[in-house]
Amino acid sequence: MRLLVLLVTLLATLPGCEVDCFDGGALETRYRDGEAQAEADNQIAYDAGYRRGRSLTRADGEREGAQVGYDAGYLAGYDSLRGFDAGYRDGYPEGSRAGDGDTTGCSAGSADGWAAGDSDGYRDGSDAGWSSGWSEGYSAGSADGEASCDGSGVAPTTAPAAAPATTTDEPDSKDARVCYRRGYDDATDLTAASRGLADGKRDNPEFQAGYRATFPAAYARGYDDGVLAGYAEGWDAGYAAGYGDSYAVLYTDCWNDAYPGGYDDGYDDGWPDGWSAGWSDGYDSGYDDVTCP
């Protein structure tokens, strides 16, 4: 119940949770005010970004062309047929052969399979033993109860009634501010400055000349580096996947082989323990069920 009270309180305090900012009245006016302010701020941010883009020099374009070209080439080389995919294909069979020769896979599978079988067998044996023991215990408890009838009874018990929960849900007194903020947030363009900068660079001939001068060579360098890095990382990933797959086959086969033996041992251990507990529970039930004259 306390959780329910906290949930109601949380919902009541969420910004604008129950505020109608489109009421056709004062609240909607505040929402539109927020929108208008956000749009004005968006334009200011865009204009600032545009001016910055137009102010960049040829040297700025050369630096950015080199960086962007290298990054683009690197990603293209990494993802090319000579990059990650080729390394993965070559690394997988090597890892698979190594995994086949790892004898720890079988030993680990055998140990885990036996433990799982032992646990399951103990549970099933205990359940079966409890059922058998309960029946015999009940008979013994009934017999002893009838032999020692003394008319005893059990006093009834009652649980106290739970007190009704109370919740408070105070109305939001700042609806106008909520609607203004919602309108502002809905209309805010977080990309305004970056769009302005991009447009400013596009309309800046000096920047573009520098950018085009360095991009191609940087792309080629990045492509070659990306191929090498992609192949290396792909080989490692392929090796790990091949190793894991082969290891899993050994582990699973040995797990399956060991499980039945563990199950049988666990069942044998669980049955007498379950029978003892069942007999005790059955005895108590049989004794309690006796109604004396």
pLDDT at 141: 87
Q: Is residue 86 part of a domain?
A: yes
Q: What is the pLDDT at residue 199? A: 97
pLDDT of residue 187 exceeding 70, the answer is yes
Residue with the bigger pLDDT between 146 and 272: it is: 272
Q: Residue 147's pLDDT band (boundaries 50, 70, 90)?
A: confident
The predicted pLDDT at position 289 comes to 85
Structural domain including 213 reads 22-139+190-288
Rounded distance, CA 70 to CA 78, Å? Answer: 12
CA angle 124, 128, 129 (to 5 degrees): 115
- If you average pLDDT over residues 125-153, what whole number do you get? 84
Average pLDDT over residues 31-60: 96
179 found inside a domain: no
pTM, whole model, 2 decimals? 0.64
Average pLDDT over every residue of 98-113: 94
In a domain? residue 183: no
The answer as to whether 219 is a domain residue is yes
Asked, for residue 264, whether it belongs to a domain, the answer is yes
| 128 domain-assigned | yes
Report yes or no on 169 lying in a domain.
Answer: no
Least confident of 7-11, 34-38, 165-169, 208-212: 165-169
User: Is the model more confident about 147 or about 78?
Assistant: 78
Distance CA 137, CA 279 (A): 4
- Shortest CA distance to 112 belongs to which of 257, 236, 272, 279? 257
Instruction: Count structural domains, the chain.
Output: 1
Task: Tell me if 176 is assigned to some domain.
Answer: no
- Which of residues 157 and 33 earns the better pLDDT score? 33
Torsion of CA 251, 256, 258, 261, to 10 degrees: 170
